[in-house]
Amino acid sequence: MAKQTLDQKLAILSDAAKYDASCASSGSTRRDSRGGKSLGSNEGSGICHAYAPDGRCISLLKILMTNFCIYDCSYCINRVSSNVPRARFSVEEVVTLTIEFYRRNYIEGLFLSSGIIRSPDTTMLDMVRIARKLRHQENFRGYIHLKTIPDAAPELIEEAGLLADRLSINVELPTDASVKHYAPEKSPEQIRRAMADVRLRKDGAKDRSHTGKRPPRFAPAGQSTQMIIGADGATDATVLGQSTRLYASYKLKRVYYSAFSPIPDASTKLPLISPPLQREHRLYQADWLLRFYGFDLHEITGHRKDGNLDLEIDPKLAWALAHRGLFPLDVNRASREMLLRVPGFGTKTVGRILGTRRHRSLRYEDLHRMGASMKKARAFVTLQGWSPGPLTDSADLRARFAPPPQQMSLF
């Protein structure tokens, strides 16, 4: 085989990395290179440097160190039984690509993942070596996200956390049974233990020593994970149940949902359907309601018989339609908790309503200016200049929001 060029390797190893949804570059420690001796900065909020036509942002150089792998996970393009072309970057190649892309303002940093070669420890050690070189030799202060290999030795995880901004370990599928079925070499218990280990190290790095000295920050942008949606038969209630447990147990920053998408040279074990993008979108909406809007899991999925979210309307609207007795809400009197439950009101709008309410009572036009989506909200609120009348209880309210019914295609 002819020696692969850097361009060929990059093509293979970015193609192999695209199924990881995470791209965040936000929430780490603020730092910059003003001294003139180093390169890069992080100012808290992430920056998306480009968008691909799949609608996903490109913030980090998301590549695999290698796509050789000794595991055989059915859903994965890099599984050992697949015939996709293989490549491997050297440590220097990854470092150079990261630095040169960064200098041209293409990226916020590096998201490095890898297939498992030889053993989890060998692979993790090479990944740590790349991060070490970036930080210590190139004085790189941009963002680094390392995918952690669950079985890697604890001391490697420790060093990875001190070098990287974020660590992530994918739970892959919503239930232990599916993980065992589709990823026989992975152990769901071990994945949980590795996440627990990261959380403990992160908690531990907060305690000052007896001299008052702060220990070095461990993975300051926290840890995240990813679940593949639509590969197994799990319902949305199961998926969201798993996420709420992950958030509570391991203090995850994010759970990413990745609609299972056809891959080159796919396994026969899995359905080759078009990816359930709408379902993925609804899961993210539900995830937000759980984390920022004070909703409980059973409120979101409890009123659905099959345990799945309504694909046609968003979960907050679905909840409001099922609880019309609580509406219309008087915007000038309602509590923060209730305002957050009005479809069309976001957390910012609610903040603005509460801020302005201290000085005067609100009128309908005000809500528009505060950023509320009144098309949705007006059936659920009452205030000066607006009363929804019978709209709140009208039988066709759902039909006003749902997309019009479509005739099935004949072909």
Partner 1 sequence: MPHVTLPRIGTAQAWRDAARGFLTAGVPPEAVTWGDSSVEAGLFDDPATGTGSRPVTVPRSFIGLANTVVFHNDPARFARLYAFLWRLKDAPHLITDRGDAELAKLRQMEKNVRRCQHKMKAFVRFRELGGPADPRRSFAAWFEPTHHTIEPTAGFFTRRFADMDWRILTPDISVFFEDGTLRFEPDHPRPTLPPDASEDLWITYFRNIFNPARLKVQAMQSEMPKKYWKNMPEAAAIPKLIAEAPARARAMALAGPTLPPRRAAAALAQQAANVSAWQGPSEELPRAISACRGCPLHRTATQAVAGEGPLDAALMIVGEQPGDHEDLQGRPFVGPAGQLFDQLAAEAGLDRSRAFVTNAVKHFKFVPRGRKRIHQRPNSDEIAHCKRWLDAEIRQVRPRLILALGATAAEALTGSDKAISTRRGSVEKGPEGVPVLISRHPSYLLRLRDAAEKHAARAEAVADLKQAVELSQNIDLKKYY
Site for partner 1 in 351-390 (CB under 8 A): 352, 355-356, 358-360, 362-363, 365-367, 369-370
Nearest-approach distance from CB 258 to partner 1, in angstroms:
10
Q: Which is nearer to partner 1, 284 or 398 (CB)?
A: 284
Number of CB atoms found within 10 A of residue 50's CB: 10
Q: Which is nearer to partner 1, 56 or 324 (CB)?
A: 56
The region of 95-103, 207-215, 219-227, 305-313 touching partner 1 under the rule CB under 8 A is: 95-103
Q: Which is nearer to partner 1, 8 or 387 (CB)?
A: 8
Nearest-approach distance from CB 369 to partner 1, in angstroms:
4
Q: Which is nearer to partner 1, 217 or 357 (CB)?
A: 357
Q: Which is nearer to partner 1, 10 or 338 (CB)?
A: 10
Site string for partner 1, 237-276 (x = CB under 8 A): -------xx-xxx-x-------x-xxxxxxxx---x-xx-
Interface with partner 1 includes 38 (CB under 8 A)? yes
Site string for partner 1, 295-334 (x = CB under 8 A): ----------------------------------------
Binders of partner 1 among residues 207 to 226 (CB under 8 A) are none
Q: Which of 4, 14, 308, 373 binds partner 1 (CB under 8 A)?
A: 14
Interface with partner 1 includes 285 (CB under 8 A)? no
Identify residue 101 by its one-letter amino acid code.
Answer: F
Q: Which of 29, 90, 100, 303 binds partner 1 (CB under 8 A)?
A: 100
Q: On the CB side of 119, how many CA atoms lie within 13 Å of its CA? A: 6
Site string for partner 1, 334-353 (x = CB under 8 A): ------------------x-
How far apart, in Å, do the first and last CA atoms of the chain sit?
45
Report the candidate in 195, 277, 228, 225 with the shortest Cα–Cα distance to residue 76. 228
With CB under 8 A as the rule, give the number of residues binding partner 1: 107
Which phi and psi (to 5°) does residue 104 adopt? -90, 5
Interface with partner 1 includes 279 (CB under 8 A)? no
60, 145 contact by CB (below 8 A): yes
Q: Which is nearer to partner 1, 73 or 397 (CB)?
A: 73
CA gap 221, 166 in Å, rounded: 5
Structure tokens at 59: 């913030």
Q: Which is nearer to partner 1, 390 or 409 (CB)?
A: 409
Q: Which of 39, 311, 322, 326 binds partner 1 (CB under 8 A)?
A: 39
Structure tokens at 1: 């085989």
Number of CB atoms found within 10 A of residue 203's CB: 11
Name residues whose C-beta falls within 8 Å of residue 210's C-beta, 6 or more positions apart in sequence.
none
Binders of partner 1 among residues 63 to 82 (CB under 8 A) are 63, 69-72, 80-82
Q: Which is nearer to partner 1, 6 or 399 (CB)?
A: 6
Which phi and psi (to 5°) does residue 99 adopt? -65, -45
